[in-house]
Structure 1
Amino acid sequence: MRIVIANVNTTEAVTEAVRQQAMKAAGPGTEVVAVTPSFGPESVEGSFESYLAAVAVMDRVAAVREPFDAVVLAGFGEHGKEGLAELFGVPVVDITEAAAHVAGLLGRNYAVVTSLRRTLGQIEDRLRVAGLAERCVSLRATDLPVLELEADPDLAARRIAEQAVQAVDVDRADVICLGCAGMAGLAEHVEEATSVPVVDGVTAAVGLAETLVRLGLRSSPSAYPAPRRKTITGWPVTGSRA
Structure 2
Amino acid sequence: MRIVVTNCNTTREMTEEIVRGARAAAGPTTTVTGLTPAWGPESAEGWLDSHLSAAAVMDLLRTYDGPGYDAVVLAGFGEHGREGVRELVEVPVVDITEAAAHLACLLGRRYGVVTTLDRSRGQIEDSLELAGVARNCAAVVSTGLGVLDLGDAERTRAAFLAAADRAKAAGAEVLVLGCAGMTGLQREWGQRLGMPVVDGVGAAVKLAESLVALGLTTSRSGSYARPLPKRRVWGAGQEAAGGVP
TM-score category, normalised to shorter length: over 0.9
Confirm or deny: 8 A CA contact 1:89 1:224 kept in the other structure: no
Q: Distance in 2 between matches of 1:238 and 1:153?
A: 46
Instruction: Say whether residues 1:220 and 2:219 are aligned partners.
Output: yes
Instruction: Say whether residues 1:149 and 2:159 are aligned partners.
Output: no
Unaligned runs of at least 5 residues, structure 1:
none
The 5 A counterparts of 1:38-117 are 38-62=38-62, 63-117=64-118
Identity of aligned residues (%): 51
Q: Distance in 1 between matches of 2:130 and 2:6?
A: 21
Confirm or deny: 8 A CA contact 2:26 2:205 kept in the other structure: yes
Q: Distance in 2 between matches of 1:70 and 1:113?
A: 27
Confirm or deny: 8 A CA contact 1:115 1:145 kept in the other structure: yes
Q: Distance in 2 between matches of 1:92 and 1:232?
A: 24
In structure 2, the CA distance between the partners of 1:96 and 1:40, relative to structure 1 (3 Å rule), is same
Confirm or deny: 8 A CA contact 2:114 2:176 kept in the other structure: yes
Confirm or deny: 8 A CA contact 1:226 1:241 kept in the other structure: no
Residue 126 of structure 1 is matched in structure 2 by 127
Residue 2 of structure 2 is matched in structure 1 by 2
Unaligned runs of at least 5 residues, structure 2:
none
Q: Distance in 1 between matches of 2:157 and 2:128?
A: 24
Confirm or deny: 8 A CA contact 2:139 2:170 kept in the other structure: yes
Q: Which SS does the other structure have where 1:44 is aligned? A: coil
Q: Which SS does the other structure have where 1:140 is aligned? A: strand
Q: Distance in 1 between matches of 2:241 and 2:73?
A: 19
Shift of 1:29: 1.2
Deviation beyond 6 Å, 4+ runs, structure 1: none
The one-letter code matched in structure 1 to 2:197 is: V
CA deviation string 1:161-216 (max 9, x = no partner): 22112322x11211000000111111122212210000000000000000000000
Q: Which SS does the other structure have where 2:58 is aligned? A: helix
Residue 189 of structure 2 is matched in structure 1 by 190
In structure 2, the CA distance between the partners of 1:16 and 1:233, relative to structure 1 (3 Å rule), is closer
CA deviation string 1:100-159 (max 9, x = no partner): 000000111100000000010110000001110000001100010000013x12211221
Q: Which SS does the other structure have where 1:29 is aligned? A: coil
Q: TM-score when scaled to structure 1?
A: 0.94
Residue 25 of structure 1 is matched in structure 2 by 25
Confirm or deny: 8 A CA contact 2:234 2:240 kept in the other structure: no
Confirm or deny: 8 A CA contact 2:111 2:172 kept in the other structure: yes
Confirm or deny: 8 A CA contact 1:89 1:226 kept in the other structure: no
Q: Distance in 2 between matches of 1:230 and 1:7?
A: 27
Q: Distance in 2 between matches of 1:89 and 1:196?
A: 37
In structure 2, the CA distance between the partners of 1:187 and 1:64, relative to structure 1 (3 Å rule), is farther
Shift of 1:67: 2.4
Q: Which SS does the other structure have where 1:4 is aligned? A: strand
Q: TM-score when scaled to structure 2?
A: 0.93
In structure 2, the CA distance between the partners of 1:153 and 1:239, relative to structure 1 (3 Å rule), is farther
Q: Distance in 2 between matches of 1:70 and 1:33?
A: 11
The alignment covers a number of residue pairs equal to 240
Confirm or deny: 8 A CA contact 2:232 2:242 kept in the other structure: no
Residue 139 of structure 1 is matched in structure 2 by 140
Instruction: Say whether residues 1:207 and 2:206 are aligned partners.
Output: yes
